[in-house]
Amino acid sequence: MNSEEAETPLVKEARRIMEVCNSCRYCGGFCAVFPAMELRRSFSRGDLEYLSNLCHNCTSCFHACQYAPPQEFDINNPKIMAELRAETYEKYAWPAPLAKLFHRNGTVMSLIVAFSVMAVLILTFMLQNKNVIFSAYQGANSFYQIIPYNVMIGVPIVIMAFSVFALFMGVIRFARGTDWKMSEMMNPALVTRAIIDVLLLRYLGGAGDGCNYEDDTFSHKRRYFHQTLFFGFMLCVASTTAAAIYDHIFHWPAPYPLTSFPVVSGTLGGVGLLIGTSGLFWTKMKRDKRPLSESLLGMDISFMLVLFLTSLSGLLLLFMRENTMMGSLLILHLGLVAGLFITLPYSKFVHAIYRFAALVRYAGEKRSNPRGDGIV
Ligand code: SF4
Ligand code: SF4
């Protein structure tokens, strides 16, 4: 797999646009794509796939462009970059046969998540007396009255291990396919630079005033919602990790007090996910549709919906953990979490992984060409 493969119409169109942009260079201060583009005189397929994953679809270059449709040059960078990005998700997915899950991704993802919830329900009925689901439990180990300990621990470990490995293999394939040196990918200084850029969501600030979404007006809304979602997700990961350490190392079984670290971080994380997903959905619905790819809406919305429902069911479970709703909410929440993680390598989540990899590569390019990108 390399950049010499037969080229798709999308690759050819992305190259045409980059060649026009490289002559114009008006948008250099908006994001990392243009400074990275300016380092090149020609664009291989690998270059274009890398640049498309540096793009975060802010649409500022569309609103600034004097060659945007209906002008005859028809320069629509955000749309072509988004479609090419989606093509890379499928091309580099591991294992390759599962790349088909990116076709009609919204429907496929919804079906897998619904199936996961059903599977947890059926498994619970097979392992337990159905009356346990509708009984109230209190105190330590109450969750294990519904789902036995070995199942609650074993199944998520298998799913997580598969998802993490599939994502890791995907990014290795992406690096190879875009002719990127593996040594750079593992370089601690470049990885640290990219982590700082991600934590600050630096490039979502545009040239300082934010980005365009609805029209020519600049705004930081999308950046703030993105940041809320990101930190919400990280807090939920911290909560689950802490709960696993409490249970397996200290032998303190769940559920934990309301003031404990897993509950506080999980609650804040859940609220962050609810606000972040709702806000991003709201901004997406209000966005100017011309620079968007309608065919990718299903992928975006299904991922946000599953994240929203997972955090909502987790918060409801927290507040109803001592009444008769606990069993059904636990099954629903675990089913949603399982569905979310099974589909992680084949959902919009891969954007986070490939974009991070692209930022590491960009950090290396900036280090070798220290002119500054002028982006705040
Ligand atoms: S998007 Fe338009 S204005 Fe911006 S660099 Fe390309 S051609 Fe120039
Ligand atoms: S849409 Fe935004 S991130 Fe993508 S190339 Fe244009 S300015 Fe850069």
pLDDT in tens, 313-346: 999 999 898 888 899 999 999 999 999 999 999 9
Reduce the DSSP state of residue 338 to 3 states and report it: helix
Q: Quick one: pLDDT at residue 3?
A: 46
pLDDT at position 375: 56
Cα of first residue to Cα of last residue in the chain, in angstroms, is 36
- Residue spans per domain, the chain: 9-92, 96-356
The protein residue with its alpha carbon nearest to ligand 2, atom 4, reads 55
Token pair 């979310």 is at which residue? 340
Measured in residues, the chain has a length of 376
> What local confidence, expressed as pLDDT, does residue 109 receive?
94
H-type alpha helices, the chain: 9-24, 33-38, 45-54, 60-64, 77-92, 105-127, 149-177, 182-185, 188-200, 221-248, 261-286, 297-319, 326-343, 350-368
pLDDT at 1: 46
pTM over 0.85? The answer is yes
| Low-confidence spans in the chain with pLDDT less than 70 | 1-5, 206-208, 371-376
Note if the bond before 97 is cis, omega within 30 degrees.
Answer: no
| Phi, psi values for residue 293, rounded to 5° | -100, 110
Tell me what pLDDT residue 214 has.
76
Please, are residues 45 and 91 in contact by the beta-carbon 8 Å criterion? Answer: no
pLDDT value of residue 132: 79
Pocket test for ligand 2, best of 20, 25, 43, 81 (most atoms within 8 A of CB): 81
Residue 25: predicted pLDDT: 94
Please tell me the predicted confidence (pLDDT) of residue 143.
85
Q: What is the DSSP letter of 6?
A: P
164/68 Cα distance (integer angstroms): 40
Pocket lining: 52 vs ligand 2, CB cutoff 6 Å: no
How far does the centroid of ligand 1 lie from the alpha carbon of residue 67, in Å? 7
Q: What is the pLDDT at residue 186?
A: 86
Whole-angstrom distance, CA of residue 283 vs CA of residue 184: 35
Nearest to 57 by CA among 298, 227, 293: 293
Question: pLDDT at position 207, please?
Answer: 65
